Amino acid sequence: MTKYSECEILSGGARIVLSVWEISKPEAVIVFIPATMVHPLIYERLLCGFAERGFCVVGVHPVGHGKSPRDVKLYTLCDIAQNGRDAVSFALDKFNLPVIALGSSQGGIVAAALACADKRIAAVFAHNILLSELPDSIGITRFPKQLRHVYRLAQAAFKFFARLMPKLKLPLGFYLDRKRISRDLKLWESLESDPLCLTHYCLHFLASLFTTRFQGLTDASICCPVYVIADSGDMLFTADYTQKVFERLRAPYKEMVTFNFNDHMLMYSHPQAVCDLLAVKMREALLIA
């Protein structure tokens, strides 16, 4: 039987909320970081699925997201990574079990960052991964692909305007093509009617998303197994881009786990299939670690 609870912790000087799915006699605990502008509760079927398969789960409501207070107006990708590290500390203190970091989309980027920043993690499962220094990263956005030829200049411009107008509110559609995320109108209606989902990011955060470099991903700083989760038909994080990042990733063990649903919202739309395969891979990772 799964017990659900919520708690509030301090992380980087701000208050954040954690959603906890707890079972008796778990094998490990999963720390889950959600995607852009959303929160763990939209993935309830996925996270309950992991609980049914023998894992406790700690879902992170990042600073300013979900049920976390809106006290902090300006935050960065590094702040969300710190939320992940503090959630790992919570999980270790509460359960005293191996911790697996799992993230989807933007959360996958954060989970990958945790692989090189937190030696306490037993394994990382990153659904989507990004190297901000790679010019092809511009292809994830709706900005002209030709900008890859002046990529460093584009990054510098992003930082410049973020300093001038840090609180400028920009909707998701400003930098991502919604149709490449999902063409499911019911999904968008559900997210847009959810009062816990955000409707915009400040330019200050977006600048950090596209310019923060997690150097440890490519310099052998990682000490744990890393599994990169992809969908062969993902139109946002394409197979070609993901393969380029995967090849540059340095870890003691790395593996690509590929699904074929043609769906960027893989973890939201296909929770049972994801849980079935990843639960097996997670047990394998614990043996490797």
Q: Write down the CATH number for the domain with range 3-135+214-288.
A: 3.40.50.1820
> Residue 122 and residue 282: Cα distance in Å, rounded?
10
> Residue 236 and residue 170: Cα distance in Å, rounded?
19
> Which of the residues in the chain have pLDDT under 50?
none
Q: Could you tell me the sign of the dihedral formed by the alpha carbons of 261, 32, 279, 5, in that order? A: negative
Q: What Cα–Cα distance (Å) separates residue 192 from each residue in 88, 136, 177, 236, 279?
A: 30, 30, 16, 20, 31
Q: Where are the domains of the chain?
A: 3-135+214-288
**Selection from 251, 280, 252, 43 nearest residue 129 by Cα:** 251
* pLDDT tens digits, 240-269: 999 999 999 999 999 999 999 999 999 999
State the alpha helices, DSSP H only, in 132-270.
Answer: 151-164, 172-175, 178-181, 185-192, 203-211, 239-248, 266-269
- pLDDT at site 242: 97
pTM beyond 0.95, yes or no? yes
* pLDDT tens digits, 8-43: 999 999 999 999 999 999 999 999 999 999 999 999
- pLDDT at site 176: 97
